[in-house]
Structure 1
Amino acid sequence: MIGLEQVETMIKERLPDAQVIIRDIKGGGNHLEALVVSAEFEGKTKVKQHQLVYSAIQEALDSEAIHALALKTYTPQTWKTAQSVV
């Protein structure tokens, strides 16, 4: 099992400006949800954004410390828009 803070740290090492929220979906520590907001996502497709995050946690995925990850990525502007909708 991997700690939620460890996952957050791994993502922030790859995307230093990121705001990261990690949540354990099932309570077992290996099915996670991540919300990541970063200016590095500007001009990138969702696929490229997700690839950046996955590259940051690849070791945990390979070792199966993380079995599943539901991922939501936003630029600062799209995050601001998403917050005003809710």
Structure 2
Amino acid sequence: MSTAGAAETDTEAAAVANTSGITAQSLTATLKEKLEASHVDINDISGGCGQAFEAMIVSPLFAKKNTLARHRLVNSALRTEIAAIHAWTPKCMTPEEWEQKQGS
């Protein structure tokens, strides 16, 4: 039994993602360009249909900004893309915070 709107095959999921134009790769490219991100890891958590993403974003532009300010910066950079998807969950770190996390 399928859920309304859910892709039943990988081919269908790819077609839906291609229709919306939102992919992990396109989000990564935009974040690297607009936020000078040194590391971006985006996971499509929607089963491949391109409607829900979680992200780890590392950028020097996050320095001296609280979580809300970091999310606003990301959301501003991805305004068009976020309007076209269902769910977006970013985690934002500075390069120093990222290095500390990798070392622990």
**Do Structure 1 and Structure 2 share a fold, with TM-score over 0.5?**
yes
Report percent identity of matched pairs.
35
Higher strand share: 1
Q: How far 1:26 sits from its partner (Å)?
A: 2.2
Q: How far 1:84 sits from its partner (Å)?
A: 2.2
Give the TM-score taking structure 1 as reference length.
0.85
CA distance in 1, matches of 2:72, 2:44: 21
**Structure 2 unaligned blocks of 5 or more:** 1-19
How many pairs were matched up? Answer: 83
RMSD: 1.3
Q: Secondary structure at the residue paired with 1:40?
A: helix
Which structure exhibits the higher relative contact order, with contacts defined as CA atoms closer than 8 Å and separated by 6 or more residues? 1
Give 1:6-85 correspondences, 5 Å limit: 6-27=26-47, 28-62=49-83, 64=84, 66-85=85-104
**Structure 1 unaligned blocks of 5 or more:** none
Moved segments of 4+, more than 6 Å: none
